[in-house]
Amino acid sequence: MRWDIVGRFLKPRDLHVFMTVVEENSMAKAAERLAISRPVISRTTPISSTCSE
């Protein structure tokens, strides 16, 4: 991964969503906490396929 270009694509909202998923250890719980749908979490979190619920 080219870390020099990550900041160009990462938005503060994306980081907030990602951190909430990490804190909750669940995409479903993070979606509930953020009051957004789970598909939004999946689209926002690039490594969503590595999360287990």
Q: What is the mean pLDDT of the chain?
A: 80
Specify whether the CB–CB gap between 33 and 24 falls below 8 A: yes
pLDDT of residue 49: 47
Distances (CA, A) of 19 to 3, 7, 9, 33: 19, 16, 16, 12
pTM beyond 0.75: the answer is: no
pLDDT at 53 over 70: no
> Could you please report the per-residue DSSP string of the chain?
--GGGHHHH--HHHHHHHHHHHHHT-HHHHHHHHTS-HHHHHHH-TTGGG---
* Mean pLDDT calculated for residue range 21-43: 93
Output 43 or 16, whichever has higher pLDDT.
16
Mean pLDDT to the nearest integer, 1-28:
82
- Are the C-beta atoms of residues 14 and 44 closer than 8 Å to each other? yes
pLDDT above 70: percentage of residues in the chain? 70
